[in-house]
Structure 1
Amino acid sequence: MGTDTYRAHNFSAGPAALPTEVLEQARDEMLNWQDRGLSVMEISHRNPAYMAVAKEAEQDLRDLLSIPDNYRVIFMSGGATSQFAMVPLNLLGNGGRADYVDTGHWSLKAIREGGRFGEVNVVCSSEEQSYTTIPDRSEWKLDPEAAYVHYTPNETIGGLEFMDIPDVGDVPLVADMSSTILSRSLDVSKYGVIYAGAQKNIGQAGITVVIIRDDLLGKAADACPTLWNYQQVADNDSMLNTPPTFALYICGLVFKWLKRQGGVEAMEKINKRKAEKLYKAIDSSDFYSNPIDPRYRSWMNVPFRLKSDDFNAEFLQEAEKAGLLNLKGHRAVGGMRASIYNAVSEDSVDALISFMAEFERKHD
């Protein structure tokens, strides 16, 4: 498939860039899916043809991440923020306590929401360092009796990423992988629960993937709504109610696209290269800077500041003229941010680096 349609360089943090091939296929199938004379959005989720789509999407994700057989994969409505409540409702039972790691904006939101459903112990925090680093594992005050340990492997806003899976002993590890899933190799067996909003590396907004180990099912609090009960959703193959059918269809197309690229291992090499060259451009400049501890710089979200905030408006205006979109940093941290997820090509990163160099040349 091919198209002459103009496509900008999209550095949005989410909803984020989707592979052009995926969008083209969805476009071509929009009115006549599988020669049925209707859209995939217009078919019942109980129809065997659609259920095959859902089953294939799950299997492709299992293949991509080598998900063990003792893990269930479920697709749920809503974004990852809803999981901040679903996790404690499903894992704490009728009261309990859990450990949380605080490394930034999204982990803090999870902590506040988790505290509404049980006792939360913040095992460590890098707030005093303005969330520019990750506390050393030796400083974590873990509770061996906790129901789980929750952490955010990649802080989308701050641009802080764990490079290794933290060892928390026998306590189930729960991870919000919304902005890092499928970007690099992953040992799923190290986790109790992985959840991820789709709108960064998986697909479009409106659907969330949950990967949960079998032995953690069936622990939900009595007050847990049926539609939020992992056991109920898993037992009904994510069809307990009508799922966001088009969003799940798009996820399936993205999974197949990832397979065609060579899978997660191939994407890891590309993503590492993209991130390294962008950080190199920032570090070799006196005009740009990145505040994050180099040991924990995110591969997916690269924040940077200009020499003076007085240049920000012009930088964004000129970048947009050059087809470089959505570079404004989050309001909580300011500056700029380039989100370089799987669907953001290396050519886009190269275009950004060239633009940054030219902007610096004109203004430094």
Structure 2
Amino acid sequence: MTVQTPTIYNFSAGPAILPESVLRTAQAEMFDYNGTGFSVMTMSHRSDVFMSILYHAEQDLRQLMGIPDNYKVLFLQGGASAQFNMVVMNLANGFKRVDSVVTGNWSRIAHSQMGKLSDVDVHLAAHGGDLFNYTDLPAPETWDVDPKSAFVHYCINETVHGLQYRDIPKPNDNMPPIVCDMSSEILSRPINVSDFGVIYAGAQKNIGPSGATIVIIREDLLDRCSDRIPDVWNYKSHVNKQGMYNTPATYPIYISGLVFRWLQSQGGVTPMQTINALKAKILYDAIDHSGGFYINNVQPQARSQMNVVFHTATPELDELFAQESTTRGLRMLRGYKTMGGMRASIYNAMPLQGVEALIDFMQEFQRRYG
């Protein structure tokens, strides 16, 4: 008798799922990229071939996001975590204060790190809860910001606690430039890039493999970058070298470029918003209609459409859920280490069928243990 292997659905928060077609293209080109006879992985970053890969990745990203000409795009390294310090080093010279909004794990860590290489005051502009209990988002109009601050920093989607700003804060005369960690929702819905001073995102959640970090920065803000900042951490130095100050993460950039092409083949960001909203809706409906067997404590208006967190009545039952779901091909559903429970990351590349398979298992699990 032949045992059928279940389809594997990867719900990891990052490094996360990639489109199957992207992986197959990378597989086909592993040893011979575009007839060159060698792999992108072993290609000089200064070669004409790689420079073309980098150029087209940037142009495709600009097209997908509608990035204006007065914004520079960089593919850096160090992950989004490196940006917690880089934005301060580059943008806060001559300023006394930066404003920081804390709404979950990653913005909390950013807040704790931003002042470590500067004497600038990192002002807590708004707070959404405590270490284990972020369930709502402070409205932007309640943020205690100073227009004379260097910038205000926030995380638009908190992967650990499962919160997301659906209504994007808009700039106004009473708000300094907005710096946004967009790692786990970038390209999941249309945004107006002009609303932001800086957008940064680690690629490994909704774009590509770990190793590349995208920084989109308004050109006038580069005037703040002091020559006293070491070049490797200086936005202006990277811009002046066309992203080639040091060796970039060539293979992650290549894969990211393939993902950008895949997104274009899907019709762009607007159709992705529609399918992402549907995936999130049916999964939250399954939680809310479980009669309390599954629990999500986040306020409905703040629920993330990228990272859906939930739990059962006991940690023991949560662990059983994680174990049994794995045998059904539903992988990486355990919640963040400090949170417990479950977390389903349903980024762009997660097909609707994967969410439906998770819901089917949730209902079956409830029938057996409810």
Report the TM-score range of the alignment, normalised by the length of the smaller protein.
over 0.9
Residue 168 of structure 1: how far off its partner (Å):
4.6
Instruction: Tell me the distance in 2 between the aligned counterparts of 1:40 and 1:136.
Output: 45
**Aligned residues, how many?**
361
> What residue number does 2:129 align with?
127
Q: Secondary structure of 1:289's partner?
A: coil
Instruction: Tell me the distance in 2 between the aligned counterparts of 1:329 and 1:72.
Output: 36
Where structure 2 has 5 or more consecutive residues not aligned to the other structure, the ranges are none
After superposition, what is the alpha-carbon deviation per residue over 1:206-228, rounded to whole angstroms, capped at 9, x for unaligned? 11000000000031245422011
> What residue number does 1:167 align with?
170
After superposition, what is the alpha-carbon deviation per residue over 1:95-122, rounded to whole angstroms, capped at 9, x for unaligned? 5311111101110111111122221111
Instruction: Tell me the distance in 1 between the aligned counterparts of 2:196 and 2:93.
Output: 19
Root-mean-square deviation (CA, aligned residues, Å) is 1.6
> What residue number does 1:283 align with?
288
Instruction: Tell me the distance in 2 between the aligned counterparts of 1:137 and 1:66.
Output: 24
Q: Does 2:202 correspond to 1:197?
A: yes
Where structure 1 has 5 or more consecutive residues not aligned to the other structure, the ranges are none
Residue 144 of structure 1: how far off its partner (Å):
1.7
> What residue number does 2:311 align with?
305
Is 1:94–1:221's contact at 8 Å kept on the other side of the alignment? no
Amino acid at match of 2:124: V
Residue 132 of structure 1: how far off its partner (Å):
0.5
Is 1:301–1:340's contact at 8 Å kept on the other side of the alignment? yes
> What residue number does 1:273 align with?
278
Instruction: Tell me the distance in 2 between the aligned counterparts of 1:243 and 1:94.
Output: 30
> What residue number does 1:236 align with?
241
After superposition, what is the alpha-carbon deviation per residue over 1:36-64, rounded to whole angstroms, capped at 9, x for unaligned? 21111111111111101100000000000
Instruction: Tell me the distance in 1 between the aligned counterparts of 2:90 and 2:43.
Output: 31
Q: Does 2:105 correspond to 1:105?
A: yes
> What residue number does 1:263 align with?
268
Instruction: Tell me the distance in 1 between the aligned counterparts of 2:226 and 2:111.
Output: 18
> What residue number does 2:323 align with?
317
Is 1:173–1:193's contact at 8 Å kept on the other side of the alignment? yes
Instruction: Tell me the distance in 1 between the aligned counterparts of 2:179 and 2:298.
Output: 24
Q: Which moved more, 1:230-239 or 1:320-329?
A: 230-239
Q: Secondary structure of 2:224's partner?
A: coil
Is 1:142–1:168's contact at 8 Å kept on the other side of the alignment? no
Residue 237 of structure 1: how far off its partner (Å):
1.4
Equivalences for 1:56-135 in 2 at 5 Å? 56-93=56-93, 96-116=96-116, 117=118, 118-127=120-129, 130-135=133-138
Residue 309 of structure 1: how far off its partner (Å):
2.1
After superposition, what is the alpha-carbon deviation per residue over 1:3-49, rounded to whole angstroms, capped at 9, x for unaligned? xx985100000000011100000000000111121111111111111
Residue 139 of structure 1: how far off its partner (Å):
2.8
Residue 313 of structure 1: how far off its partner (Å):
2.0
Q: Which moved more, 1:310-319 or 1:187-196?
A: 310-319
Amino acid at match of 1:337: R
